[in-house]
Amino acid sequence: MLRALLITHGDFGASLLSTAVGIVGPAPGVEAISNREHSREGLSRIVEAKLAAWNGEEGLILTDIHGGSCAQAAMSGALAGRGAPVITGINLPMLVDFLVNRGAFTAAEMAARLVDKGRAGVRLLELPGAPRGGA
């Protein structure tokens, strides 16, 4: 079963994980890490150590903002560690899908799946009778 690190700003990752667990149940092997009180370099070292503790198990690193300090630390830590795929833009549909299906895919397959799920989860809901694409 795939593992995961959620590396996010503030309490976002912990809140997201807590919400997903409320939907699908326990999430062993999934951990949220905040950037709070960590430099990018310090966060990179934490990621590297967490990946080393996986002892050869596959997993993903999920971050919030592309190009942000969490994503930069994830990439740096992954490069220095085991090279786990890093996905930015984590949202609830992605995390729920990960938790439900993490036993059925490799890390690379799951990474591609989650990118598709994330894109599919963003929709503009049109109100009946409202002008299309209007103000």
Q: 6-59 pLDDT, tens per residue?
A: 999 999 999 999 999 999 999 999 999 999 999 888 999 898 899 989 988 999
- 76 inside domain: yes
- 83 inside domain: yes
Burial of 94 (0-12, 13-18, 19+ CB in 10 A): buried
Q: What is the pTM of this model?
A: 0.89
- 133 inside domain: no
- 84 inside domain: yes
- 124 inside domain: no
Strands 30-34 and 3-8: parallel
Domain that holds residue 54: 3-117
Q: In this structure, what CATH number is given to the domain that contains residue 92?
A: 3.40.50.510
The number of distinct structural domains making up the chain is 1
The residue to which tokens 């919030």 are assigned: 64
Segment 94-135, tens digit of pLDDT: 999 999 999 999 999 999 999 999 999 888 888 898 887 655
| Token pair in block for residue 119 | 């894109």
Segment 47-98, tens digit of pLDDT: 889 998 998 899 999 999 998 999 999 988 887 766 789 999 999 999 999 9
